[in-house]
Amino acid sequence: MTWIETHSASFEARHEATDADDVRLVLDQLEQFRSDLSDRFERLPEDVGVVIHGSPAMLAVAHPWLELARLAASPASRRYFGGWFTSGEIHVLAPKLLEGRASKVAGSAETLRLAPLHEYAHLVIGANNPELPPPFNPRSFRNYLRWAWLCEGAATWLAGQTPYLAPAIVSRMRKGRAPSLPPSARDAMLLGGSIFDLLAEGEGPDACVTLICNLEAAGPQAAIERAFARPLAEITDDWRRYLAELTAPDPTTTLTDSLPSEQTAPMQPEDARAERRRRREARRIG
């Protein structure tokens, strides 16, 4: 096994030589993502190391915190932990392994393909909120679990993974009881991003950035109430309706058809957001 380095303006990747072509595409993807985030966040990590692992075992050995995070998550969520993050570095499985990790459910491969962006988003979140990791230690990991819905949800939202997770959310909603708000650590990877999508629709992306960058001393529920400026019970009702809408495609389309294509931006179209806002307002008035 020969390891080599590949560089871009803001990232330095270490990987097996056989992954060189795929890694160049990953770095291009990361550079564009970093540029997009520069309009939202004051601080962006620079000179970030990107370690591309050739096996899940290598990734697990390098990051024992990852395995603990996976154990805290529901079985349906665990496949989407395709990488991890430390101070100044992100670690992800090689693209071919991410593809192989995907289930046959629509959207699974697309979600995993965005894993490098998800992990870099964690670095951006930590750079702008010093109360969240990295670095990892017993105290910061406990904080990560308490705020997993924010840590994983924000990374999922920023990376554009939420629309692709809709089929997995369908499975979660069918098999388990109604989720709580905020979601537990078990549900954070699947459901956390939907909170930020809902907040962006109602209050705008700036409200999401404010939520990401400032933890509420009174705890997660108070943080959500502050972000939405409404009582938690009312937000919970809207959120559960939003999950139902997110996972219910138009009856004239298949579930695969309802997902964004690879050629489109990962965020859901503004007209779809406007339609969901219209429905919620109509329900309130009614």
Take residue 76 and report the two structure tokens written for it: 């349906």
Take residue 158 and report the two structure tokens written for it: 């920023």
Q: What is the number of domains present in the chain?
A: 1
CB 121 within 8 A of CB 30: no
Q: How much is the pLDDT for 274?
A: 57
27: CATH: 1.10.390.10
3-state secondary structure of 15: strand
Q: How much is the pLDDT for 172?
A: 83
Q: How much is the pLDDT for 234?
A: 96
**Nearest CA among 56, 150, 195 for reference residue 112:** 56
CB 112 within 8 A of CB 102: yes
Q: How much is the pLDDT for 278?
A: 56
Tens digit of pLDDT per residue, the chain (286 long)? 689 999 999 999 999 999 999 999 999 999 999 999 999 999 999 999 999 999 999 998 889 898 899 899 888 888 999 999 999 999 999 999 999 999 888 899 999 999 999 999 999 999 999 999 999 888 889 999 999 999 999 999 999 999 999 888 888 888 777 889 999 999 999 999 999 999 999 999 999 999 999 999 999 999 999 999 999 999 999 999 998 887 765 433 333 333 343 333 444 434 545 555 555 454 444 4
Q: How much is the pLDDT for 83?
A: 95
Residue 272 lies in domain: 3-285
- Overall size of the chain counted in residues: 286
Q: How much is the pLDDT for 123?
A: 97
Rounded CA-CA distance 123/133 in Å is 8
